[in-house]
Structure formats: structure tokens, C-alpha cells
A and B are shown apart, each in its own frame.
Chain A
């Protein structure tokens, strides 16, 4: 897999005709608020290849969800503004698309599962009505009759192992438990065939045994349907168990990208290391001290590397320049001046 990976990454600059499914290039997102401009995303680069499962980790407020919302162009604008950057989906820039193309991407290309299934489902429509709407407006749905649409809607409910799917179609979201609602959301994301699935913390609001079931279900369906996945989470353990490649994000920047095994074996960026040490282990032995300070104020983010005020290894250059990605090995890149001579 490694050589193919590399070629894909090396040819990333060539936009059209590459094997990349999604490519974000130097994306900036700002929010105009009372008191100034929140400079949230600060030059994000991110790629997903066909069939790949990519993880995106970072603490609350580091811009994970903002990045994903930018992909689907569902950021509220204003206050959000995209002053720079490109988002290529299958070679086409989403940011430059017209309404019709955009609708096609949303209904046939990319789907998203949100963190809170209660907020993602409309409380006044039945599960069936909501699922059928997805089928109806999908690529195949336009020529189907009402009965066929209903039959189509039952299939994903069965796939996500919900009991009694026929009855489920006539239930309202409030009648279901949290785990069941999240299964419905997954069903909704998978009912029409898509190429990319964005899962934004799909298990975080659920109990650990339910989270485990949801993640296993997602994993199985993704394998079966050969869908690419972006899994967003702040739980490192979830990423380790479910993805091929990981991006670590801090304050609107990607700070480290590596194959999952590689990242967990050799975390390089001081932030990644701090995060890794802070995770409580089943083997015991106490917990490290965490990372001092907190995520910067986006109204006035620190110059240079945004992590330098919290970093124990900060040097003069960190306060002035933003570190580029340094390639440590074929499958490991890190944005930190500590590694400018190749680590």
C-alpha cells in the first residue's frame, strides 16, 4: 500500500486526474464577529484517497468540524468567510461550484453523520419520512415509485441492525434511544450510495458499549460498500482502532499526518506527544501532567507556530515563522521546526 500512497501524495499538486478523492489545499476560514475576525482555519491541507479511512483528531475548538463543514459548504456565511483555499472533490473545486453541482455533491457524493443524533433528526417527521426524502432526491431515487422508495428505505435500517425496521419507519425520533437514533443517522448516510462519508464524533455522545457497537457497524458497512471515510474524534483510541491514516489538528492547523500504526508507535509533534501522554491507560501507572495553557484565542492567535506558547521545546524561529510540513519517512509528516533537519 505504501508506494501507492506515496505516489498519490506526490502527485497531489496536479489537481485533475489524480487518484485523490478529496483534496483540501491551503484552506482558510475566518469568522467575522463583534470585536474582530476569528482566524480559525489557518492554511489546512488534507487529502483522502478512494477507499481510505482517515482519522482527524484534536481537542475541542481546534477546527475539525469547521473543516468538514467547509467541505460540504454548510458553514453559515456570514459570519463565516473563506478568504483562501481550494477543496477538490474528484478534481472539481467545491468552493467554485454552482448550486446544481453542489446539490449533486451533497446528494450523491458526500454524506455526513453528526455528533448529536438528536439534533440531526427532525423531531416532527417520522424516521420513514426522513429516510424516504434522502432516497427520493438521490441519483437513483428520481425514477422510483413511492412503494419502491419505501422498500429502499427499509434496507439500510436492516443493515444497521435495528430491530423491526418496518415499525421503525413509522416511529418518531423521540421514541428511540440515543444508540438507535445514531443508527438511523448512519442508515440515512448510507441509504443512497456515496463515495465519501464524514463521521463527526459518531459515538461521543453515547455510552462506551454503544459507541463500540456503532463504530463496529460503521466499519463493517464501509468495508462492504467500499466508501471512503473521514472519522473526526477527540478520542485517540477510536482513531487507532478504526482508521488507516491520521491527521492531528491544533488551533486550525494540521500539525502531524501519518499512517495510524506509525503515529501511535512514533508520535513526533510535541502536541501529539502531549495528547498521547495525557490519555489514561488501562495498564495503570498514573497520568502525565497534560499540556499547559489552553487553545489560543482566534481573535488574536499567536504568530509563527500556533502551538509555541504551550510548547516546552519552543525556539526563536517558532515565534516568527509558521512551520511547514517536514517529511520524516514515506508515511509520516510533521509541522514542527524540531524536525527541520529530518528529525
Chain B
């Protein structure tokens, strides 16, 4: 029986982007994340999928501690990440690390790779031999040791991302958030990074929160997948089950829109759904189910009542009126 490493309960994150009204006192809020709950189990890869503007990165940034949640709770191994008003203890920061989407902007261009990798070592592991450790970290991500003297702009996109991964590994974390780690890269390089991540996960028993918009990538890396739309999760299931049996109309739409390279994959795509419309602005979230404007199976109730999560099969939950209370 695996234990839960990260539990997110009813997480909400609203941003105030301006004020309206005569006295400019009424805040205009963007509900970037609006009641998200999920758990990540020890040693698994949990995939979070959604289009741009769905709030998936906000979930990541809140988990890492860049934002404080408006409401709700995140706990890591039973410990609340936002207890009181204190800053997060160093021991917790060490356990949770992040790899960003664009390694071009997440690595300091004025520091060489050695300096980049040295910082987390100095803070989190003061007693260790740093030079030795840097060589070991570079080895872990399959880069030669002399790379420590290079600067980020001398490296290719894939190599930069490997350095970013090495930096995340430097604190010996148990949980890594991967925020679209390969979407800025070509497929041949993406394949290398993904294989590296899978190997590291086995070696160090890491848990991943993997954020991406690429469902076919998700199929190959995640054990469980959640789909987000406008700040809410609409479906959660085991990866294989997910692609065999998608319930939510939005999931079906996403699946049908993926360009694929073989006939076998073509058969997995739901045929009848044709994608329409765009994700609305999170400032004006539609009433009821937020997907109803684009939904091909819309009913009257959808524009009025927001559906709740129901379990349609074991471990497969969906938030849609089509699948009523069992």
C-alpha cells in the first residue's frame, strides 16, 4: 500500500487584477484555481493537463510556495505547507523542488553552471564537498564534468533543461514539480529528457507532479492524470484507463484534437467530438459548469448548476452532469 506524499484539498487561488465600481473599491478577481483537490502518492507521477489559462501552473507555484493560497490546504507527508504566517522551514523547501518550462529564463545567464549548482548545495547541504557533489550531479543528468565551467547561453535547450533538473536534484528532494519541462524542446530532445526523468525517479524514488498540455506525452509518463479546465479539475483517472475510457466531454475533445502518427493511435481518438470555441477568460467564468459554452453534450442544467465530482468507476472521477450520482 503506497502512502500519499502530497494532498491538495479544496485549493483556491484568486488574484485581484484591478478594481471596479464608482469608488474603485470592488475588486475584480481572477479565479485562477477554484477548488482543486487531488493527492499524489509516494513514488508516482501525477499528471496535470490543461490548456493555457486553466490554472495548472498556479497549482504548481502555490505548492512550491511562490503564492499563498486564498483558501484550502496543501499538506506534504501530513504536514501543512501553509501553517500560520511563517515562511516555509528549510527542511520542507529541501524536499519540494521545481523544474520550470523555459530553461532559458530559469537559469541565471551571468552565472556558470558550477555557480548555479553550488547555491542549493551551500544552503541545504553545508557540510558536503561541493565540487565533488557538482560533478556527481552533472553525471546524474548525463553531462560531462567540464560543463561546470560553461555559461547557460553556451548550451542547447535540452542541455539547459538538464542543468535545471540537476539543480532541482541538488537538495536531494523527494518531490519534484515538473512544469512543462519539455514543451519548449524538440521531440528528439524531449525523448532524452523524459527518459532521464524516468530513470532518476526509479533511482531516487522521487514523486513527480508533471504539468503539461500534451496528452500523448502524459500517456507515457504519468500513472494518474487529472484534467483541468478554468481552475477546476474535471476528470481524474489512471493513465491507461483515461485514454481507453474518457468520460468528460472536454477530455474527449482534447483527445480528438491530438495529432497522431499511427493508425493504432487514430483508433483511440473519440471520433464524433469536434473541438469548438476557446477557453474563456478566467475573469468572466461562465455560470454553472464552466465548460458548457463549448460542450457538445450540453443540457439545460449545465448553465445553471456547477456539477460535483462523482466516482464513475474505482479510481476514476468525473465532474459532469452526464454522470449523475451513482
By secondary structure, the B interface counts as helix
Contacts of B265 in A (CB 8 A): 281-283
The reply to whether B213 and A207 form a contact with Cβ atoms under 8 Å apart is: yes
Could you tell me how many residues of chain A have their Cβ less than 8 Å away from some Cβ of chain B?
Answer: 42
Q: Which of B142-181 contact A (CB under 8 A)?
A: 156-159
Q: Which of B211-258 contact A (CB under 8 A)?
A: 213-217, 219-220, 239-240, 243, 253-258
Q: Is A66 an interface residue (CB 8 A)?
A: no
Bound together, the chains give a CA A289 to CA B159 distance in angstroms of 15
A290 with B215, Cβ < 8 A, contacts A238-B259, A282-B260 known: no
Bound together, the chains give a CA A41 to CA B261 distance in angstroms of 28
Residue pairs across A and B with CB atoms within 8 Å: the count is 130
Which residue in A240, A288, A289, A290 is a CB contact (below 8 Å) of B260?
A240
Q: Is B118 an interface residue (CB 8 A)?
A: no
The reply to whether A294 and B261 form a contact with Cβ atoms under 8 Å apart is: no
Q: Is B128 an interface residue (CB 8 A)?
A: no
The reply to whether A282 and B243 form a contact with Cβ atoms under 8 Å apart is: yes
Bound together, the chains give a CA A207 to CA B280 distance in angstroms of 13
Contacts of A279 in B (CB 8 A): 187, 216, 261
Chain B 165-201: CB-based contact to A (< 8 A → 1; otherwise 0): 0000000000000000000001111111011001000
Bound together, the chains give a CA A207 to CA B275 distance in angstroms of 11
Q: Is A312 an interface residue (CB 8 A)?
A: no
Contacts of B215 in A (CB 8 A): 208, 282
A289 with B191, Cβ < 8 A, contacts A213-B275, A213-B276, A280-B216 known: yes
Q: Is B319 an interface residue (CB 8 A)?
A: no
Residues of chain B whose beta carbon lies under 8 Å from any beta carbon of chain A: 51-52, 156-159, 186-192, 194-195, 198, 213-217, 219-220, 239-240, 243, 253-262, 264-265, 268-269, 274-276, 278-279
Q: Could you give 22 example pairs across A and B, Cβ below 8 Å? A: A180-B278, A207-B51, A207-B213, A208-B214, A209-B278, A237-B259, A237-B261, A241-B260, A264-B261, A264-B262, A277-B191, A278-B188, A278-B190, A278-B191, A281-B220, A281-B260, A282-B219, A282-B268, A282-B269, A283-B219, A289-B195, A290-B191
Residues of chain A whose beta carbon lies under 8 Å from any beta carbon of chain B: 59-60, 177, 179-180, 207-213, 215-216, 234-238, 240-241, 264, 274-292, 294
Lowest 3 A-B CB distances belong to which pairs?
Answer: A237-B259, A290-B191, A212-B257
Given A207-B51, A276-B261, A294-B159, 10 other A-B residues pairs in contact with their CB atoms under 8 A: A177-B278, A208-B215, A211-B259, A213-B276, A216-B274, A236-B261, A278-B190, A283-B268, A286-B198, A290-B191
